[in-house]
């Protein structure tokens, strides 16, 4: 079976893991935790980084650090992995779901502006969502598949409304935006090092940013808000730490970030070339103002829905290829049926069930890629 996306662990992972065991530093402090924070800061062009136990806990922590509180609102795109919404819910806050741009599959900045104009009002220096009476507390754009939304516009809107911007950049490490580093284009940026990401630590996440005080507070919160070694804590903190074992794997992976992202881009370009001109499918989108990290690649069916995608996956599985559908939008998910939403979510609603993701591991061979492309074409013609 050619898998969808598996880790590529042929670098220093084993050596670094052995060192964890030899030194007995297997838990939540150690040289690799320090090193992975330094590497992530450097690779994202940020001054500071805080390692976390997952992308989800990183997002939760980042929102908390930006002041999101119980019963408040965080704006997110509806087309995302459910963890984005869950991080908001873990703050006991409520997601306000917006549509995506069809060109990048990321937060629609035009709609964001219109919705804020129409549906909010300032009351006692607080930005209030009129219908619910709740305070709007933050905007969390998602860098879908490693593509970045129009952050210039989103940041300008955020500034007008006094909202912090926390980027869910789960799979976007390595992406480029108008020559700027990822760390420069949001107040806080959160990565995931889950097993299916371009670089993995087995499980883990990272928050990066340039505000020394804020990042210090996040580190404090992530480590049970401990003040002294005498079990003295000054806040309700979290145990959201990355272990040295996870960080050891993550460091070895980050050493190869550029190579892996390059490979991901080659895979994207290969599929785009192979399926170009086919009347049944269109390619995954790309930004014209930056370079996507191309986390996943595949095709979009011009017609059909989830049933068709399921059938294609089944036929491909029979031929030794793992393919999958992609994110079901948050507004269609049971836990978020009652979430606040923009008037129109038609782009996400129309898109999600026509996506087919194809094998894109960084160690996939040219022969395997050719086999996938040939087989997908055959199966599409059936
Ligand atoms: C867009 C997005 N946000 C958040 C996450 C959550 O990251 P983790 O699985 O590390 O908690 C993911 C992971 O798949 C993701 O794709």
Q: Please write the tens of the pLDDT for every residue from 228-257.
A: 999 999 999 999 999 999 999 999 999 999
| pLDDT for residue 106 is more than 90 | yes
Does the domain formed by 13-254 have CATH 3.40.50.740? no
Q: Which residues line ligand 1 (CB under 6 A)?
A: 54-56, 80-81, 83-84, 142, 168, 170-171, 192, 194, 205
Tokens of 42: 């450097």
The number of the ligand 1 atom at minimal distance from the alpha carbon of 59 is: 4
How far, in Å, from the CA of 376 to the mean position of ligand 1?
28
For residues 113-122, give the mean pLDDT.
98
Q: How far apart are CA 32 and CA 265, in angstroms?
A: 28
The residues with which 301 forms a beta bridge, in sequence order, are 281
Residue 121 has pLDDT above 90, yes or no: yes
What pLDDT score does 33 carry?
Answer: 98
Question: Could you tell me where in the chain the CATH 3.90.1150.10 domains are found?
Answer: 257-381
- Residue 195 is predicted with a pLDDT of 96
Q: Tell me what the pLDDT averaged over the chain comes to.
A: 97
Candidates 55, 58, 88, 149: which one to mutate for ligand 1, based on the most atoms within 8 Å of Cβ?
Answer: 55
Give the mutation target among 5, 51, 56, 328 for probing the ligand 1 site: most ligand atoms within 8 A of CB.
56
Q: Which residue has the tokens 């086999």?
A: 371
pTM (whole model) above 0.85: yes
Dist. CA 12 → ligand 1 center (Å): 25
Residue 151: which of 126, 176, 118 has the closest Cα? 176
Query: What mean pLDDT is predicted for residues 145-155?
Result: 97
Average pLDDT over residues 180-190: 95
The mean pLDDT value for 158-185 works out to: 96
Distance 77 CA to ligand 1 centre (A): 14
The pair of structure tokens assigned to 262 is: 């390059």
CA 364 to chain centre: 22
Would the pLDDT of 187 be above 90? yes
Sign of CA dihedral 198, 200, 205, 207: negative
Mean per-residue pLDDT, 138-162? 98
Q: How confident is the model at residue 260 (pLDDT cuts 50, 70, 90)?
A: very high
Where in the chain do CATH 3.40.640.10 domains reside? 13-254
Instruction: Grade residue 304 by pLDDT with cuts at 50, 70 and 90.
Output: confident
Q: How far is CA 293 from CA 19, 40, 97, 267, in A?
A: 31, 15, 24, 11
Q: 330 CA distance to ligand 1 centroid (A)?
A: 14
In which residue are the tokens 């220096």 written? 125
The mean per-residue pLDDT over the stretch 53-63 comes to 98
**327 CA: nearest ligand 1 atom:** 16
What is the pLDDT confidence band of residue 26, given thresholds at 50, 70 and 90? very high
Rounded to the nearest whole angstrom, what is the distance from the C-alpha of residue 62 to the centroid of ligand 1?
14
Distance CA 330, CA 144 (A): 14
Instruction: pLDDT band for 64, please (50, 70, 90 cuts).
Output: very high
Does the domain at 257-381 match CATH 3.30.750.200? Answer given as no
Residue 193 Cα, ligand 1 centroid: separation in angstroms?
Answer: 8
By percentage, how much of the chain surpasses pLDDT 90?
98
54 Cα nearest atom in ligand 1: 10
Q: How many angstroms is it from 23 CA to the middle of ligand 1? A: 31
Q: What is the mean pLDDT of residues 271-282?
A: 96
Does residue 179 register a pLDDT over 90? no
């Amino acid at each position: 079976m050619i898998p969808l996306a598996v880790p590529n662990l042929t670098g220093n992972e084993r050596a670094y893991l052995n060192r964890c065991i030899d030194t007995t530093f297997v838990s939540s402090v150690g040289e690799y935790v320090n090193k992975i924070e330094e590497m992530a800061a450097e690779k994202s062009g940020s001054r500071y980084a805080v390692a976390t136990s997952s992308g989800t806990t990183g997002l939760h922590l980042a929102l908390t650090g930006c002041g999101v509180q119980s019963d408040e609102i965080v704006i997110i795109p509806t087309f995302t992995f459910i963890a984005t919404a869950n991080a908001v819910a873990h703050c006991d806050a409520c997601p306000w779901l917006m549509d995506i741009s069809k060109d990048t599959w990321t937060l629609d900045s035009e709609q964001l502006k219109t919705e804020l104009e129409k549906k909010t009002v300032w009351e006692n220096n607080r930005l209030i969502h009129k219908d619910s009476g709740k305070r709007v507390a933050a905007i969390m754009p998602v860098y879908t598949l490693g593509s970045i939304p129009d952050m210039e516009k989103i940041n300008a809107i955020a500034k007008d409304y006094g909202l912090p911007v926390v980027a869910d950049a789960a799979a976007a490490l390595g992406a480029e935006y108008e020559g700027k580093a990822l760390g420069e284009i949001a107040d806080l940026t959160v990565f995931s090092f889950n097993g299916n990401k371009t670089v993995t630590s087995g499980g883990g996440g990272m928050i990066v940013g340039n505000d020394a005080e804020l990042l210090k507070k996040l580190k404090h919160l992530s480590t049970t808000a401990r003040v002294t070694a005498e079990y003295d804590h000054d806040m309700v903190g979290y145990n959201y730490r990355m272990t040295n074992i996870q960080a050891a794997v993550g460091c070895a992976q980050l050493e190869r970030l550029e190579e892996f992202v390059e490979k991901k881009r080659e895979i994207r370009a290969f599929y785009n070339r192979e399926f170009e001109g086919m009347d049944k499918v269109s390619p995954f989108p790309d930004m014209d103002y930056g370079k996507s990290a191309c986390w996943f690649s595949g095709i979009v069916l011009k017609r059909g829905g989830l049933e068709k995608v399921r059938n294609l996956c089944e036929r491909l599985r029979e031929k030794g290829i793992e393919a999958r559908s992609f994110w079901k939008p948050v507004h269609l998910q049971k836990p978020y049926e009652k979430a606040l939403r923009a008037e129109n979510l038609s782009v996400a609603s129309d898109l999600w069930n026509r996506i087919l993701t194809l094998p894109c591991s960084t160690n996939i061979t040219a022969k395997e890629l050719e086999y996938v492309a040939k087989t997908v074409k055959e199966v599409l013609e059936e």
